[in-house]
């Protein structure tokens, strides 16, 4: 079983090579992290090559949460970092690994569940993945050779966690009478709004609809929503739809 030590989950999104998954597990365990999540690995799961490369950290692979997609991997998380070296057109706060792990400590001390996403080896995270994150982690590397392999990127983040955290203790953090919204709750809210806006013809013209939806989702990920906020926004949309139907009938 994973340890009881409060810590972020490291989410490997569509990793391509078993060796790199094993290297990531080894890097995590070097610094006391053991909550690995794997999204749609290219070569299937389990992967014997990952076990050989893990070199003593095979327990992390055995206990890793396997998810079919990014929303499934993040459904219980209320704050998500995305690692990327490439400039993005999405508006988000950008942190160094050091600053990101300091923030992760604060969030976890406040009772939140934090995740750090790492993209596939060939091209990294896609915009649709990053739109689900609350913030970006970028490593200050040589701009003429910015590519880090998966194991290296995980190692940097894990090292900064260990260096910043030492030992993290739970603290109770009251948010009025509510809690922070989880990934699955925000996902349901965004889907609710997308469906109703689709019916209203908002995502037009059709060829621009996918990009508009990514920007729309990114808007929600930048907001810190509580469960009460989510319930209120669901209610706002339901009332608007109800009002429109009443207006059409009258």
Task: Encode burial over 23-60: b for 16+ CB neighbours within 10 A, e otherwise.
Answer: bbbbbbbebebbbbbbbbbeeeeebeebbebbeebbeb
CATH fold of the domain at 9-165: Alpha/beta knot (3.40.1280)
Tens digit of pLDDT for each residue in 235-248? Answer: 999 999 998 888 88
Question: Which residues of the chain fall below pLDDT 70?
Answer: 1, 86-88, 167-176
Residue partners of 1: CB distance under 8 A and separation at least 6:
63
Rounded Cα distance, 108 and 111, in Å: 5
- Please state the domain extents for the chain: 9-165, 183-249
Q: What is the 3-state secondary structure (H, E, C) of the chain?
A: CCCCCCCCEEEEECCCCHHHHHHHHHHHHHCCCCCEEEECCCCCCCCHHHHHHHCCCHHHHHHCEEECCHHHHHCCCCEEEEECCCCCCCCCCEECHHHHHHHHHHHHHCCCCEEEEECCCCCCCCHHHHCCCCEEECCCCCCCCCCCCHHHHHHHHHHHHHHHHCCCCCCCCCECCECECCHHHHHHHHHHHHHHHHHCCCCCCHHHHHHHHHHHHHHHHHCCCEHHHHHHHHHHHHHHHHHHHHHHHC
Tens digit of pLDDT for each residue in 27-43? Answer: 999 999 999 999 999 99
pLDDT value of position 146: 77
pLDDT value of position 167: 57
* 17: alpha, beta or left? (left if phi > 0; alpha if psi -120 to 50): beta
């Amino acid at each position: 079983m994973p340890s009881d030590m409060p810590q972020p989950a490291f989410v490997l999104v569509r990793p391509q090579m078993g060796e790199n998954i094993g290297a990531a597990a080894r890097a995590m365990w070097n610094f006391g992290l053991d909550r690995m999540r794997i999204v749609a690995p290219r070569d299937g799961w389990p992967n014997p090559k990952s076990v050989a490369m893990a070199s003593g950290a095979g327990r992390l692979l055995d206990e890793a949460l396997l998810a079919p997609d990014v929303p499934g991997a993040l459904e219980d998380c209320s704050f998500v970092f995305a690692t990327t070296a490439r400039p993005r057109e999405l508006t988000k706060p950008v942190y160094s690994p050091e600053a990101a792990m300091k923030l992760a400590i604060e969030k976890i001390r406040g009772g939140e569940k934090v995740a750090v996403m790492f993209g596939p080896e060939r091209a990294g995270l896609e915009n649709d993945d990053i739109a689900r994150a609350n913030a970006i982690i970028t490593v200050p590397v040589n701009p003429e050779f910015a590519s880090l392999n998966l194991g290296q990127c995980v190692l940097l983040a894990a090292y900064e966690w260990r260096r910043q955290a030492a030992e993290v203790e739970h603290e109770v953090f009251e948010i009025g009478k509510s809690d922070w919204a989880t990934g699955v709750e925000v996902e349901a809210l965004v889907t609710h709004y997308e469906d109703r806006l689709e019916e209203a013809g908002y995502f037009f013209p059709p060829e621009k609809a996918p990009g508009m939806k990514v920007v729309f989702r990114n808007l929600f990920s930048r907001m810190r929503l509580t469960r009460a906020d989510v319930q209120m926004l669901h209610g706002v949309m339901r009332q608007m739809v109800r009002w429109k139907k009443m207006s059409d009938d009258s």
